[in-house]
Amino acid sequence: MKKPIGFFDSGIGGLSILNSLVEKLPNESFIYLSDNKNCPYGNKSHKEITNFSLKNSKKLIELNCKMIIVACNTATTNCINLLREKIPVPIIGIEPGIRPAILNTKTKNIGVLATEKTLESKLFNSTSKDNIKDGIKVHEQIGYRLVNEIEKGINGNILIENYLKKYLSPMIKNNIDYLVLGCTHYNFLEEKINKILSKNVKIVDTISPVTNHVIKTLKSLKIENKNRSNNSIDIIYNGNKLSKEFMKTNYQISYLDF
């Protein structure tokens, strides 16, 4: 039987990464856990985030996954090292892409929009502090309530636009030329964010670097699938309901109490 690649997130945010990998890796099977019963993670304690992440990873191991993608910046920045210690398959994490912004900024001001617990985490702070040089300022903003609204659906959701205007306006005043999206849910807001920011501001998401990293890792560990037969893409959720807004038609969606 084909071993799938496992994913987890607090909800639908990690689908932004899954959708990219499904396109690039047509020979692979995927299992995506949406822990939406516990969504959002971003305002929970470090301990809770760690426990959710361990629970999700153990479930993916039970489901025979050969690799786990932590499709959540909050879980990655809070407990990726512990997951790598405890879980016996390769673990790929997702962190805010602050490095390219720091390397390329001309205005020396960059913005980071992320969850409370990502911005507070040791991992994020060591990564961003290690890279800061030449008087570059990092303007951090917590995306309060954005994840809750994205889970409800983004089309015609006026609250999302209002929150974005509020969160981005201090960054615009501070003349940022890069905005780093530090939460996989926010990847779905790029179009809305572009309408608020001027054309000179570039958005940094981590979809392509993570996709490339996964492809390279599968190859180097020689665990990639070589043929297309018996592929499946399973989306499993544990909350009340799941928005289908960002799902492709061949995804099989089911409920499981995990």
Token digits for 5?
């690649």
The answer to the question of residue 238 lying near ligand DGL (CB under 6 A) is: no
Active-site residue identified among 39, 65, 72, 79: 72
Write out the DSSP string of 38-71: G---TTS-HHHHHHHHHHHHHHHHHTT-SEEEE-
The answer to the question of residue 141 lying near ligand DGL (CB under 6 A) is: no
Nearest to 69 by CA among 212, 239, 254, 251: 212
Please confirm, yes or no, whether 72 is among the known catalytic residues: yes
List the interface residues with ligand DGL, window 62-81 (CB under 6 A): 72-74
**Are 214 and 21 in contact, with CB atoms under 8 Å apart?**
yes
Residue closer to ligand DGL by CB (options 70, 89) is 70
Q: In the bound complex, what is the minimum distance in angstroms from residue 17's beta carbon to ligand DGL?
A: 10
Position among 21, 60, 101, 147 found at the interface with ligand DGL (CB under 6 A): 147
The answer to the question of residue 204 lying near ligand DGL (CB under 6 A) is: no
The site for ligand DGL, by CB under 6 A, has a size of 16
Separation of alpha carbons 21 and 88, rounded Å: 22
Residue closer to ligand DGL by CB (options 29, 74) is 74
The answer to the question of residue 53 lying near ligand DGL (CB under 6 A) is: no
The answer to the question of residue 185 lying near ligand DGL (CB under 6 A) is: yes
Position among 6, 42, 93, 97 found at the interface with ligand DGL (CB under 6 A): 42
Name the DSSP class of 187: G
Could you tell me which residues come within 8 angstroms of residue 22 by beta carbon, excluding any fewer than 6 positions away? 30, 233, 248
Could you tell me which residues come within 8 angstroms of residue 26 by beta carbon, excluding any fewer than 6 positions away? 228, 231
Position among 39, 101, 154, 247 found at the interface with ligand DGL (CB under 6 A): 39
Please confirm, yes or no, whether 65 is among the known catalytic residues: no
Nearest to 119 by CA among 129, 105, 109: 129
Name the DSSP class of 37: G
The answer to the question of residue 13 lying near ligand DGL (CB under 6 A) is: yes
Residue nearest to ligand DGL (CB): 42
Residue ranges binding ligand DGL (CB under 6 A): 9-10, 13, 39-42, 72-74, 115, 118, 147, 183-185
